[in-house]
Chain A
Amino acid sequence: MFQAKHAMLPVATHDEFAREEFCSTLRQVFTSELWPANREVYDHQLPKYVAQHGREPASFREARELMNETFYWRGTQLVGRAAQEMLWDTVGESVERQLDTLNAKAAKPPRNPLGSLRLNPRLKIPKYIESVDIHVMPGNFHTELCAGDVFAGALYDRGVYVFSFGGLGPYNAGLGTTMSGYIKSTFPAFKPRRILDIGCGPGFTTTVFVDAFPGAEVHALDIGAPQVRYGHLRAESLGKRVHFSQQDGTQTDYPDGHFDLVYSCLVTHECPVPVIKGIFRECHRLLKPGGMMIHDGATPKPKDPGTDLMSSYFGHNINEPFSVGMTELDYRKAFGEAGFADDKFFEGVCPPAYLKEQLKFVSYVGSFKK
């Protein structure tokens, strides 16, 4: 399966494509084979640890000490980190080579657009975004290399496809497909007429909602101008009507009660807890009575130190410093603080429509505004 073409998708040369394919395969080997085997190594090392200490590791730190004894643990993490850095560098080189062409396309929006684009050059980029490049993606989601730039949008659209070895589907739609499918199957009577995607990136979590809820007015925001510039033209090219704007999800310019559905896909784990709570408060303000807010749920922190260690890869190796805070967040309490009634809280799991071999399930949390 190849990534589906659209007007803004970077076009790789023969050798750029070949190097991207190498990064994908290395990521796949790491994810499907190398990393999971660490559990076997852990279980193999346990008796030695017990013999030395008279008990099993009692904390994350002790579990890590046990594993640090092995070359396998240290080596596999290094390979995972290397694959992560390589994928952005490889895709980045390809995008940078054709950036003038991509930016020129972005400078000429379609004459009769289906959707719209609003930018805010005065928007202050929060410190938590400027201080760490999430996923070790250099420049993060917001950096602009020049006026009218789409670099970070193109990098993320192509990079996520390489990262997931195509596992999100030809349009990277897997996250949105799974979430919209969950909403429709769990709440079949819920028919949103105006929808907002918070932290939309290049819009691959957004365009799928246009198809999932035909007739709904779909909006999407991101703090990064290159994301929404790119996302707007990507959506137009795919014939999807989306209204993009550059905004901070904790403080938007939409009126109170403007939306029936506000959602985010894989965004909250990239935010510090005060920002996550700010997003929940803003969702409450933006929703009409009866409107729904839904986000990815965190996997609860495992009690067994070994299992905890095995689920620590992203947080400890590829710049997701806030994901630990999210796993410890009391959603029910946080929703209550944001104004949602306790009896409207919901959470659930469903089978993933993406990366099926790696993910057992995906979890969601949400609430309805009374």
Chain B
Amino acid sequence: MSSKKKSVAPRLRRKRVAIGPPRPQYLDSKDADKVVMMLLALAADVSALRDRIDTHEALAEKGAAPTAKRVESYKLDGRRRSAREAQRHAMIGRVLRVLTEEVDAMRDAKKP
């Protein structure tokens, strides 16, 4: 390798917090309940999207192009449904990690 690496001028990291008065506080503590509910509704849609991708993959495995019509008429079998169930279970576990860490820590502390 004869070509030398181009030298790049050092630069600062992009700023991510604006200087100014502190960010106003918008939510009351009771608003947090509603935010969590919105977040879980979003998780349902993310999960549905993941299932849709899985249907695309299932169709592709059969050599079929995943058209909207084929996706809609796709017959889910028990094996694939169980696999999706396991994925959802794991996803919910990740989404709720902050909630369950209190119990996880408690259980870890009990372990010999």
| Interface, chain A (partner B; CB < 8 A) | 1-2, 13-15, 17-19, 21-23, 25-26, 28-29, 34, 37, 40-41, 44, 70-72, 75-76, 78-79, 81-83, 85-86, 90
Query: How many of chain B's residues have a CB under 8 angstroms from any CB in A?
Result: 32
Please judge, given known A-B contacts A40-B106, A41-B106, whether A85 and B48 are in contact too, CB under 8 Å.
Answer: no
Q: How far is the CB of A40 from chain B (nearest CB, A)?
A: 6
Please judge, given known A-B contacts A37-B103, A40-B103, A79-B99, whether A15 and B48 are in contact too, CB under 8 Å.
Answer: yes
Q: In the complex the two chains form, what is the Cα distance from A350 to B45 in whole Å? A: 40
Which segment, of B3-11, B12-20, B81-89, faces chain A? B81-89
Please tell me if the beta carbons of A79 and B40 are within 8 angstroms of each other in the complex: yes
A89 and chain B: residue at smallest CB distance: B41
| Interface, chain B (partner A; CB < 8 A) | 33, 36-37, 40-41, 43-45, 47-48, 51-52, 55, 71-72, 74, 76, 78, 81, 84-85, 88-89, 92-93, 96, 99-100, 102-103, 106-107
Q: In the complex the two chains form, what is the Cα distance from A301 to B51 in whole Å? A: 43
Please tell me if the beta carbons of B37 and A25 are within 8 angstroms of each other in the complex: no
Please judge, given known A-B contacts A14-B55, A75-B99, A79-B96, whether A29 and B44 are in contact too, CB under 8 Å.
Answer: no
Please judge, given known A-B contacts A19-B45, A19-B48, A34-B100, whether A82 and B37 are in contact too, CB under 8 Å.
Answer: yes
Nearest 10 A/B pairs, CB to CB = A18-B48, A18-B51, A22-B44, A22-B47, A75-B99, A25-B88, A72-B102, A82-B37, A82-B40, A37-B103
Please tell me if the beta carbons of B99 and A72 are within 8 angstroms of each other in the complex: yes
Please tell me if the beta carbons of B72 and A29 are within 8 angstroms of each other in the complex: no
**Chain B neighbourhood of A15, CB < 8 A:** 48, 51-52
**Chain A neighbourhood of B33, CB < 8 A:** 78
Please tell me if the beta carbons of B99 and A71 are within 8 angstroms of each other in the complex: yes
Partner of B36, one of A1, A17, A78, A90: A78
Q: In the complex the two chains form, what is the Cα distance from A18 to B103 in whole Å? A: 29
Please judge, given known A-B contacts A18-B51, A25-B88, whether A71 and B102 are in contact too, CB under 8 Å.
Answer: yes
18 CB-based A-B contacts, threshold 8 Å: A14-B55, A18-B47, A21-B51, A22-B44, A25-B88, A25-B92, A28-B89, A29-B96, A34-B96, A37-B100, A40-B103, A41-B103, A44-B106, A71-B99, A72-B103, A76-B99, A86-B37, A90-B44
B85 and chain A: residue at smallest CB distance: A25
Q: How far is the CB of B87 from chain A (nearest CB, A)?
A: 9
Contacts A44-B106, A72-B102 known; 5 new A-B pairs at CB < 8 A:
A37-B103, A40-B103, A76-B99, A78-B36, A86-B41
Of the listed residues B48, B74, B78, B81, the one surrounded by the most CB atoms of chain A closer than 10 A to its CB is B48
Q: In the complex the two chains form, what is the Cα distance from A81 to B40 in whole Å? A: 11
**Chain B neighbourhood of A28, CB < 8 A:** 89
B50 and chain A: residue at smallest CB distance: A18
Q: In the complex the two chains form, what is the Cα distance from A83 to B39 in whole Å? A: 11
**Chain B neighbourhood of A86, CB < 8 A:** 37, 40-41, 44
B45 and chain A: residue at smallest CB distance: A19
Of the listed residues A14, A22, A85, the one surrounded by the most CB atoms of chain B closer than 10 A to its CB is A22
Q: How far is the CB of A360 from chain B (nearest CB, A)?
A: 22
B84 and chain A: residue at smallest CB distance: A21
Q: In the complex the two chains form, what is the Cα distance from A75 to B37 in whole Å? A: 11
**Chain A neighbourhood of B55, CB < 8 A:** 14
**Chain B neighbourhood of A14, CB < 8 A:** 51-52, 55, 71-72, 74
Q: How far is the CB of B82 from chain A (nearest CB, A)?
A: 10
Please judge, given known A-B contacts A82-B37, A83-B40, whether A22 and B88 are in contact too, CB under 8 Å.
Answer: yes
